[in-house]
Structure 1
Amino acid sequence: MVNTMRAATVTPGRPDDLRVSEWPDPVALDGELLVEGLLVGLCHTDLEIINGRIDSLPPGQDRMVLFHESLGRVLSAPSGSGFAPGDLVAGVVRRPDPLPCGPCAAGRSDFCLNGDYTERGVSALDGYGSERWAVPAEYAVKLAPEVGDCGVLAEPTSVVAKAWDQVDIVGGRTFHAPQRVLVTGAGPIGLLAAMLGVQRGLDVHVLDRVEKGVKPELVRALGAAYHLGLDTVPVVDVVIECTGVGPLVFDSVLKLGRNAVAVLVGLSTSDAEIPLAPSRLNDTLVFGNAAVVGSVNSAPAHFRTAAEALAKADQEWLRRLITRRVPLSAWPQALERGDDIKVVVELDK
């Protein structure tokens, strides 16, 4: 008889069929951790899967376990893995393609060339939205005990850790000593990008359209400046663009100073055409020796950087990012729109 557990499952493109399913219990293979699922975080990618814009079921399945932002507690671990029962961990999302391509072979599947990677809870692999899950030790990242529930922020923090890594790599082409950064968007990704900027000792400016409430409060609690329009933002050395909003992407790049770097991490969800002044954009980049680079996903090294950043953060500030909790038994309620920053699903309820 197969032992089962509860899991949040979906069929991509069927938003009317969101279930708590009885799912086979995971069996940890050689080199794998067996993990008790504690929390998963909702992000826009999950909505894209539910609505069918991303549709890649695991082979042979008509449903998949959702969620890629994870937090769990180790139940068992292989000897010599560096993990022990009771450790808090997050699971890395992407796995290399089976060929593999050059970047995947080098441990950088976040730069996969042929697109045959797989991703937990996103593409061809079940996610972390279950009461238990197994993960190879090399795709798990240990979190400091004091981080607690905020360890569920490891995956989004890893995304912006990679963005900052790109700032360093691209900026390294010249004498780049950034002092001022603009972060567009005060959602979870934007706030975490701002947090890493503050941890670097930079003058951080955050742009969002919300006039009051928890977002401006959290930005100011970081010691950063909050802006409602680009007209009040000074020229910057770095832009981390987290919204994917077409006009804002281009307008924020125009704030770049000399030898500056913009990293785009926001995904656009609209195909609407927008007016653009290409000459001004061109001149900003050419005369300023400025660079714009896209960045998606993250490597295990970025998860480790994220774990360090979360441990270093003001834990009370981090806890304020989690604005709503939903039990697994009613997980579709996590999709209800509100003024939330980060909604999490409690997998033991």
Structure 2
Amino acid sequence: MRALTVIPGRAGSAAVIEVPEPALADGPVLVRTHAVGVCGTDEEIVSGSYGWAPAGEERLIIGHESLGEVMEAPADSGFKPGDLVAGVVRRPDPVPCLACGAGEWDMCRNGRYTERGIKQRHGFASERFRIEPDFLVPIAPELGLLGVLMEPASILAKAWEHVERIGQRARWAPQTVLVTGVGPIGLLAAMMGRQRGLEVHVLARSPDGPRPRLARALGATYHAGEVTDLPFHPDVVLECTGVPEVVVAAMQQLAPAGICCLAGISSGARRICLDGGTAERQMVLGNEVLFGSVNANMRHFRAAAEALARADRGWLGGLVTRREPLDRWQSALQRQADDIKTVIDFTL
């Protein structure tokens, strides 16, 4: 079968090659791949700056945002042929640490976890893959190709869960939410905020285009400009750009007792210039919280499945702006001006 692979750490090594059929050791459920989403992590792996191959192997099959159809499954697995599914990315470490032992592998304490398509486990960018039933999530059939949004949606499901858990430290009734960034992560964050009945504001640079239109179509208020120009102080911020200046401004814009979740990742090329004393004073005196969130466990994938099933199909369809066949994987990894979510479609 064909798969998109890289030699981790080696730029220019990405290639579609013939690989063996997926090993039974990967799991008893056999899945035919329909699509994999492309994101910045895949770009970093292909560029040679990230990624680890499985032990004893040179190449890594990439792809961690999956959508597939069950071909074979044990009778007691909870799945049957024809089911539309997505695979969970991370696996608990073998020790396990306290978090992994409780099923919270997204919060692994010792870093010995593995990840499909990223760290020491083959990913989903192959014509077929095998997986364990305990790491497989059913997708509503009516979602079709849009089920490929499951993995990024799980990241936001976790972020929202943690925001709400932190909010319960005191009597809490949030009203306003600020989402910075209008990529797929930002737009899904805004969607989940609207599903919670909150007043959602979305901020980015561009005043026009498909991304602002999608934000407004949710019923969110769209702002083009700087965080410091906003005429309000949000109760919740979901920072989805990873841009250092935006991170700092978002922290400083919080309302008293506000919560800021950092869901975007900086490239590391730019440093945050922060007056630590001023920021610390504001956060202490305002009972504010700043935290980071990455990855997701099974609970978050299930919450993401529910959120996607509740979403307007037409709106979700606007997130997937480009589909490329496997043979055109290079094009899929080259960002275009109006791209939001690009997917490699194995059915083309």
Q: 2:256 aligns with which of 255, 258, 266?
A: 258
Mapped contact 1:205–1:233 kept (Cα < 8 A): no
Q: How does 1:141-290 map to 2 (within 5 A)?
A: 141-228=137-224, 229-230=226-227, 231-290=229-288
**How far, CA to CA, are the matches of 2:18 and 2:336 in structure 1?**
29
The secondary structure found in structure 2 opposite 1:90 is strand
Between 1:11-20 and 1:65-74, the stretch displaced more is 11-20
Mapped contact 2:106–2:295 kept (Cα < 8 A): yes
Mapped contact 1:183–1:193 kept (Cα < 8 A): yes
Q: How does 1:335-346 map to 2 (within 5 A)?
A: 335-339=333-337, 340-346=339-345
Mapped contact 1:176–1:260 kept (Cα < 8 A): no
Mapped contact 2:12–2:47 kept (Cα < 8 A): no
1:73-102 per-residue CA deviation (whole Å, 9 max, x = no partner) reads 011111122211111100000000111111
**How far, CA to CA, are the matches of 2:336 and 2:257 in structure 1?**
39
**How far, CA to CA, are the matches of 2:122 and 2:26 in structure 1?**
19
Mapped contact 2:12–2:46 kept (Cα < 8 A): no
**How far, CA to CA, are the matches of 2:119 and 2:277 in structure 1?**
39
**Quick one: which amino acid aligns to residue 49 of structure 1?**
I
**How far, CA to CA, are the matches of 1:30 and 1:51 in structure 2?**
27
| Number of residue-to-residue matches in the alignment | 345
Which residue of the partner structure matches residue 18 of structure 1?
Answer: 14
Q: CA deviation at 1:251?
A: 0.6
**How far, CA to CA, are the matches of 2:148 and 2:11 in structure 1?**
24
Which residue of the partner structure matches residue 299 of structure 1?
Answer: 297
**How far, CA to CA, are the matches of 2:20 and 2:347 in structure 1?**
16
The secondary structure found in structure 1 opposite 2:309 is helix
Q: How does 1:125-144 map to 2 (within 5 A)?
A: 125-144=121-140
**Quick one: which amino acid aligns to residue 163 of structure 1?**
A
1:22–1:81 CA distance, 2 compared to 1 (3 A): same
Mapped contact 1:31–1:78 kept (Cα < 8 A): no
Q: CA deviation at 1:53?
A: 2.2
TM-score normalised by the chain length of structure 2: 0.96
1:12–1:70 CA distance, 2 compared to 1 (3 A): same
**Quick one: which amino acid aligns to residue 255 of structure 1?**
Q
Which residue of the partner structure matches residue 308 of structure 1?
Answer: 306
**Quick one: which amino acid aligns to residue 342 of structure 1?**
K
Task: Say whether residues 1:321 and 2:316 are aligned partners.
Answer: no
Mapped contact 1:31–1:81 kept (Cα < 8 A): no
Q: 2:87 aligns with which of 87, 91, 100?
A: 91
Q: CA deviation at 1:13?
A: 3.1
**How far, CA to CA, are the matches of 1:217 and 1:224 in structure 2?**
10
The secondary structure found in structure 2 opposite 1:21 is strand
**How far, CA to CA, are the matches of 1:272 and 1:161 in structure 2?**
28
Mapped contact 2:27–2:130 kept (Cα < 8 A): no
**How far, CA to CA, are the matches of 2:135 and 2:321 in structure 1?**
28
The secondary structure found in structure 2 opposite 1:316 is helix
Mapped contact 1:205–1:226 kept (Cα < 8 A): yes
**How far, CA to CA, are the matches of 1:216 and 1:107 in structure 2?**
37
Residue ranges of structure 2 left out of the alignment (5+ in a row): none
**How far, CA to CA, are the matches of 2:178 and 2:14 in structure 1?**
38
Mapped contact 1:27–1:34 kept (Cα < 8 A): no
1:53-79 per-residue CA deviation (whole Å, 9 max, x = no partner) reads 213111111111111000000111111
TM-score normalised by the chain length of structure 1: 0.96
The secondary structure found in structure 1 opposite 2:258 is strand
**How far, CA to CA, are the matches of 2:88 and 2:112 in structure 1?**
17
1:279–1:211 CA distance, 2 compared to 1 (3 A): same
1:278-328 per-residue CA deviation (whole Å, 9 max, x = no partner) reads 233223211211111111100011000000000000000001100011101
Q: CA deviation at 1:274?
A: 3.8
1:154-175 per-residue CA deviation (whole Å, 9 max, x = no partner) reads 0000000000011011111111
Q: CA deviation at 1:27?
A: 4.1
1:36–1:175 CA distance, 2 compared to 1 (3 A): same
Provide the identity percentage: 51
**Quick one: which amino acid aligns to residue 114 of structure 2?**
T
**How far, CA to CA, are the matches of 1:315 and 1:348 in structure 2?**
20
